[in-house]
Amino acid sequence: MSNYVTTPIFYVNAEPHLGHAYTAIAADAYCRFQRLRGHEVRLQTGTDEHGDKIAAAAAAAGITPQAYADRISALFKEMAGPLGIAFDHFIRTTDPAHRRVVQGALARLHDQGDIVLSDYSGLYCRGCERFLTEKELVDGLCPDHRTPPDPLSEQNYFFKMSRYQDWLIDHIRQHPEFITPERYRNEVLSFLSEPLEDLCISRPVSRLTWGIPLPFDQNFVTYVWFDALLNYLSGLGYDPAAGGPAGDVARFWPRAEHVVAKDILKPHAIYWPTMLRALGLAPYWRLHVHGYWNVNDTKMSKSIGNVVRPLELVADYGADAVRYFLLREMSFGLDAAFSQEALEARYNSDLANDLGNLVSRTLAMAQKFTAGAVPEVGEEDGQLDRELVAAVGRLGQEFDLRLADFQFHRALQAVWEVIGLANRYIVVNAPWELAKDQGRRGRLSLVIYNLLETLRHIALALGPVMPETARLMLTALGLGGVDAQGRLGQWGGVLRPGAPVKLTAPLFPRRERHPEETSPPAGPVAAKQASRQEAQAKGQPVADSPGLIDFDYFKRLDLRVATVLAAEPVKKSDRLLKLTVAAPEPRTVVAGLAGHYSPEEVVGRQVIIVANLKPAKLMGIESQGMVLAAKDGDRLLVSAVAGEVAPGVRVS
């Protein structure tokens, strides 16, 4: 089956913001999901570059409209890579091929009487670049731009859209999947309950020259929406003069799915299908409509300065974290709120603690308890094992159902339910305790295998949403790409006993936020406090009694739980081990543990380190911390916490 998925072509009157990124990420994740199902998929995005606002922005910048469009279009195209958007075609409405399609379609509709010249008086919104009806106004203002429209009378060309109103109503009613979610379908049907006006599809060159000239009247250019919507056909190589669909049009149309924000519902749900009908083409298959991203309860707007720039978030958190947050936080179709605090919370809780900790613990235990390989499984499973297998099976069904319907947040909820169950499975089975009993080695092998197999399915599910994370997880399991690793939810048959399992650096190192320093208190203690701060600044202990330090000095020690990822003897030393630890980011620590612990004994173990110790070179190796240990006679025992915790957790 072939699927043709599109974002809207983004208007180049402003630089990319979070709303653009969400639309593109949602479309990309859906395409990746369809490819996993074995479908052929084509993803198209691009930029809309004609109209009043572009001409005005270019004039303000002192450059030509083409130069302005080139600059902003490049920003949208460059946004795709850092966000992991794998588009197949990037279209621009200034492309010569698109221009030919628009003029060909206009000529055809004009010849068949669907485009006529008429006088018109109405209320024109320059922000929307179209005439508004009285019904659309709110308190006399444009509902989107909150400005009064200008009364305008002029002669223009109109597309006889009203001819196709009854057909469109019938099509929407007979095809409930045509507009999703349902609330937007109902909104369109409500609008269509009133007589549909014809669509003005031109602007006189006396007030706008930046557009595609009408092929039958050079005194007019094409209205931006009639121009823009045809990109979905021109990107496939559509020829309006051909006798029927050919090439990629025949291959992909009408199995087309458009992903748009709710502010452009009307053009996509009313203008576009009637244009297709007039051209003798079947309407697209589905229109998926999402809500707005609000900042402080307000829609993002360049004019009020609350625009969130997606590439800045990627630079700080990484592409997969941003993709996860946006798809998890928004219920598709409804508005969602963005805040740095919410993103930080999702990162630390869902990604670092839940997913990252599960991956790190499982791989470390495989290294320590099953020699870094997929274990042979022979022992009978128990109730808890069957619950885990059943949960993975349900995940396969739930994920497929939800993602097919653009319910990304519900699909990800299902994934995190399995992640939570797997983390509990570790706690209940306590592999570190099983390892102490030779009689329970079979049970230990089964537990490790079940955890590795669960990671495989989690990676498969995360592939569409977090492609790089999925790749890293599958690589650690000794597997290749997401598309060649079995079916999600189908247990077993892929991981082979004896296949190597590799350690990986923490997928999502926990982020710590440090409170700002406060001013010294005023009053009688100010002088003493200032003295103590001066001593602290010099790195000196601050004590109220000889040999004692105060709490402020103790707080300067950054003690962290670290997971040992790898260990090896230091050459020419009989007491040093070179450790690679995650705390949560990978670092090298040289510790005097040789003679007390073998390298194999410390791999996978959690230790406590001084994380803010000044780096020092030991035997030519830079050590970035110190492992805490207790010496009891001839014995040396590394310090640890009483249970498994996430790497990087602070000790206080």
Q: What's 397's domain CATH number?
A: 1.10.730.10
400 lies in some domain: yes
Q: How far is CA 156 from CA 160, 165, 204, 239, 649, in A?
A: 13, 21, 7, 26, 67
Buried b (16+ CB within 10 A) or exposed e, 314-337: beebbbbbbbbbbbbbbebbeebe
Structure tokens at 553: 């000095």
380 lies in some domain: yes
pLDDT score recorded for residue 227 = 96
390 lies in some domain: yes
- DSSP class of residue 206 equals T
Q: Is 596 annotated in the active site?
A: no
| Same domain assignment for residues 360 and 467 | yes
Which of 484, 500, 515 is a domain's end point?
Answer: 484
**Total Cβ atoms within 10 A of residue 596:** 18
Which of 461, 484, 507 is a domain's end point?
Answer: 484
pLDDT score recorded for residue 499 = 93
* Active-site hit among 31, 50, 110, 128: 128
* Active-site hit among 142, 258, 268, 596: 142
| Same domain assignment for residues 480 and 559 | no
The Cα 349–Cα 438 span in angstroms is 36
Provide DSSP, 413-450: HHHHHHHHHHHHHHHHH-HHHHTT-GGGHHHHHHHHHH
Q: Is 200 annotated in the active site?
A: no
Q: What's the burial of 599, exposed, middle or buried (CB within 10 Å: 0-12/13-18/19+)?
A: middle
Q: How far is CA 423 from CA 469, 478, 623, in A?
A: 18, 22, 32
159 lies in some domain: no
12 lies in some domain: no
Q: Tell me which residue of 7, 2, 4 sits closest to 259, measured CA to CA.
A: 7
- What is the DSSP pairing of strand 577-582 with strand 621-623? unpaired
| Same domain assignment for residues 443 and 560 | no
Q: Is 20 annotated in the active site?
A: yes
| Same domain assignment for residues 471 and 562 | no
Q: How many domains does the chain have?
A: 2
| Same domain assignment for residues 569 and 457 | no
Can you name the residues that pair with 627 across neighbouring β-strands? Answer: 609
262 lies in some domain: no
Say if CB 631 and CB 588 are below 8 A apart.
no
Packing angle of the helix pair 310-317, 65-83 (nearest 10 deg): 30
Structure tokens at 285: 């298959």
Say if CB 191 and CB 266 are below 8 A apart.
yes
Structure tokens at 100: 């030919």
pLDDT score recorded for residue 563 = 87
The Cα 649–Cα 353 span in angstroms is 10
Q: Which helix (H) or strand (E) holds 588?
A: strand 586-591
Q: Is 145 annotated in the active site?
A: yes
Q: How far is CA 290 from CA 29, 180, 225, 324, in A?
A: 14, 9, 20, 16
| Same domain assignment for residues 366 and 461 | yes
3-class secondary structure, 24? helix
* Active-site hit among 31, 50, 125, 596: 125
3-class secondary structure, 563? strand
Residue 33, CA atoms < 13 Å, CB-side half-sphere = 24
Say if CB 610 and CB 628 are below 8 A apart.
yes
| Same domain assignment for residues 474 and 579 | no
Q: How far is CA 621 from CA 71, 490, 578, in A?
A: 48, 46, 8
Q: Which domain holds residue 578?
A: 555-651
* Active-site hit among 17, 110, 258, 288: 17
| Same domain assignment for residues 455 and 568 | no
CATH of residue 592: 2.40.50.140
* Active-site hit among 77, 89, 145, 160: 145
**Contact residues for 428 (Cβ-Cβ < 8 A; gap 6+):** 384
Q: Which residues of the chain have pLDDT under 70?
A: 129, 243-244, 297, 300-305, 481-485, 513-555, 632-634, 643
Buried b (16+ CB within 10 A) or exposed e, 218-234: eebbbbbbbbbbbbbbb
**Contact residues for 513 (Cβ-Cβ < 8 A; gap 6+):** 344
* Active-site hit among 302, 502, 528, 571: 302
* Active-site hit among 20, 98, 268, 368: 20
pLDDT score recorded for residue 11 = 95
Give just the sign of the alpha carbon dihedral 479, 485, 490, 496: negative
Q: Tell me which residue of 481, 225, 507, 241 sits closest to 359, measured CA to CA.
A: 507
Residue whose entry in the numeric block shows the structure tokens 């043709």:
4
375 lies in some domain: yes
Say if CB 652 and CB 559 are below 8 A apart.
yes
Q: Tell me which residue of 587, 594, 588, 595 sits closest to 570, measured CA to CA.
A: 594
pLDDT score recorded for residue 514 = 46
- DSSP class of residue 474 equals H
Which of 457, 484, 511 is a domain's end point?
Answer: 484
* Active-site hit among 89, 171, 266, 299: 299
Q: What length does the chain have?
A: 652
Q: What is the pLDDT of residues 590-617, one digit of tens each?
A: 998 887 887 777 878 899 999 888 888 7
Residue whose entry in the numeric block shows the structure tokens 């919370």:
345
Q: Is the pTM of this model over 0.85?
A: no
| Same domain assignment for residues 480 and 565 | no
| Same domain assignment for residues 459 and 567 | no
3-class secondary structure, 249? helix
pLDDT score recorded for residue 555 = 56
528 lies in some domain: no
The Cα 27–Cα 9 span in angstroms is 13
Q: Is 31 annotated in the active site?
A: no
**Contact residues for 549 (Cβ-Cβ < 8 A; gap 6+):** 541, 542, 543
Is the bond preceding 245 in cis, omega lying within 30 degrees of 0? no
The Cα 31–Cα 209 span in angstroms is 38
